[in-house]
Amino acid sequence: MDSVEKGAATSVSNPRGRPSRGRPPKLQRNSRGGQGRGVEKPPHLAALVLARGGSKGIPLKNIKHLAGVPLIGWVLRAALDSGVFQSVWVSTDHDEIENVAKQFGAQVHRRSSEVSKDSSTSLDAIMEFLSYHNEVDIVGNIQATSPCLHPADLQKVAEMIREEGYDSVFSVVRRHQFRWSEIQKGVREVTEPLNLNPAKRPRRQDWDGELYENGSFYFAKRHLIEMGYLQGGKMAYYEMRAEYSVDIDVDIDWPIAEQRVLRYGYFGKEKFKEIKLLVCSIDGCLTNGHIYVSGDQKEIISYDVKDAIGISLLKKSGIEVRLISERACSKQTLSSLKLDCKMEVNVPDKLAVVDEWRKEMGLCWKEVAYLGNEVSDEECLKKVGLSAVPADACSTAQKAVGYICKCNGGRGALREFAEHIFLLMEKVVNSCPK
């Protein structure tokens, strides 16, 4: 992960890596946020996500899937949907990260090898970006490792910069933690309290706590960055809610962050509706796509009991489950699975059949979920309210969905998607007025 300069009032690294001592200077500002610019026009605010490919802790961490979405996709979705940025960029040195960034609608700055080293700082990469983009007046440096970021937070910070005249704003979180000095042999043999009086330990509700940088974002105006600072001038913090303050640094953070994202993450502008119908492609989703043929020319397929349980749980919760295939599979073989689901096989146009089912049940598209894995599923995946693919789905299908399962087709993907639906439906219920 790119390192971020913190504590700018005492020491900030400049592009050559030498510390600039002392407080950042007070800066004069004009309407565009730059110095010596007399043109009156709205300042160009650019979101910039730094995502190099050489993460040491987790290989290609920035595009590793978290709750079915590439890590970087969570912050790009929030930035784009906030509506406050004239442009949204990803600075990267890696082809796969570039492809994912473009898939989510961001522009890409291919950073040089000079600012892609382990020793490179965020400031190095931001300054390089600005050297190629003279149109940018303000940079909102958003950390890819903060997947619970919401558009509302970015909107409020943009207002602080544009309307209230701040030169830099950074995110913090409030913590109620007592700090103690470190014991060092030969230097300090005993510990001492740093932010409390042990004789009068306050209760949590009687103490405001302290503010800590959480690394979610750093906004700064161009002239400040060009002087070697991300924090300075007229400076302010923006306090984020604790549940939105998630930072993924090491692999052990991943399962914890995944649960937090599923509960508190931002899933897009569209409000979820309660799912009433799940359509699952048979080959490659319900099954692993392998077909075995017996000596008497009968088809033999396999499926995972976990997926059968997933179907049962969905039906018990009131969600209709139907199966579809473009192949002329044997209905007799499928019936022997005893899943008790309506199915259509030998379907040349899956979207037409799903649309017919939707109308038959009196549903809107937002009330339909779809699990597919092939090019033939693409239109359905794009149309429905909730879409998913198994981990081994084709790239075309993966690009069309909102959730990519960890499990392969025929190996638990359907059960996993069912669990995802249940969790999102819980969000729908909890968001309804009481």
User: Would you say 214 and 116 are in contact if contact means Cβ atoms under 8 Å apart?
Assistant: no
- Asked whether residue 66 falls in the same domain as residue 120, the answer is yes
Of the three residues 241, 264, 287, the one that is the final residue of a domain is: 264
User: What's the whole-number mean pLDDT along residues 101-115?
Assistant: 92
List pLDDT tens digits, range 386-410: 999 999 999 899 988 888 998 999 9
Neighbours of 227 (CB within 10 A): 16
Whether residues 347 and 404 fall in one domain = yes
Parallel, antiparallel or unpaired: strands 277-281 and 292-293: unpaired
Residues 63 and 90 occupy one common structural domain: yes
Q: How many CB atoms lie within 10 A of CB 317?
A: 13
Compute the distance between CA of residue 121 and CA of residue 32 in angstroms, rounded to an integer. Answer: 26
CB 390 within 8 A of CB 409: yes
Whether 305 is covered by a domain: the verdict is: yes
- The pLDDT, as a whole number, for residue 251 is 54
Which among 366, 386, 279, 369 has a CA at the least distance from the CA of 326? 279
85 and 215 co-located in one domain:
yes
Whole-number Å distance between alpha carbons of 146 and 213? 12
CATH of the domain at 81: 3.90.550.10
pLDDT exceeds cutoff 80 at 294: no
Residue indicated by tokens 């699990």: 371
Taking the C-alpha atoms of residue 276 and residue 129, their distance in angstroms, rounded to an integer, is 47
Q: Has residue 227 been placed in a domain?
A: yes
SS3 211: strand
Do the beta carbons of residue 246 and residue 261 sit within 8 Å? yes
Give yes or no: residues 154 and 283 share one domain.
no
Q: Which CATH number does the domain housing residue 381 bear?
A: 3.40.50.1000
Instruction: Calculate the CA dihedral of residues 294, 299, 300, 305 and round it to 10 degrees.
Output: -170
Pick the closest to residue 340 from 323, 359, 326 (CA basis).
323
Residue 201 among the catalytic residues: yes
3-class secondary structure, 270: coil
Regarding whether 337 and 216 lie in a shared domain, the answer is no
pLDDT at 428: 60
pLDDT digits (tens, 9 = 90+) for 349-368: 999 999 999 999 999 999 99
Q: Are residues 110 and 250 in the same domain?
A: yes
Q: Is residue 84 part of a domain?
A: yes
Please report whether residue 27 resides in a domain: no
Domain that holds residue 156: 45-180+210-264
- The verdict on 49 and 127 lying in the same domain is yes
Asked whether residue 134 is domain-assigned, the answer is yes
- Which residue type, as a one-letter code, is found at position 47? A
Per-chain mean pLDDT for the chain: 84
CA–CA separation, 133 vs 38, rounded Å? 18
Whether 188 is in a domain gets the answer: no
Tell me: do 251 and 355 sit in the same domain: no
Last residue of a domain, one of 218, 235, 264: 264
Q: Which of 201, 222, 260, 411 is catalytic?
A: 201
Same-domain pairing of 241 and 327: no
User: How confident is residue 230, by pLDDT bands cut at 50, 70 and 90?
Assistant: very high
In the listed set 264, 288, 308, which residue is the last one of a domain according to the structure? 264
Distance separating alpha carbons of residues 139 and 347, to the nearest angstrom: 50
Q: Total structural domains in the chain?
A: 2
Amino acid type, 234: K
> Mean pLDDT throughout 430-434?
51
Q: Are residues 259 and 314 in the same domain?
A: no
> How far, in Å, CA of 425 to CA of 421, rounded?
6
Residues 224 and 293 in one domain: no
Identify whether 385 is part of a domain.
yes
Residue 413 belongs to some domain of the structure: yes
Q: How far apart are CA 32 and CA 135, in angstroms?
A: 10
Euclidean distance between CA atoms 194 and 71, whole angstroms: 36
| pLDDT score of 289 | 77
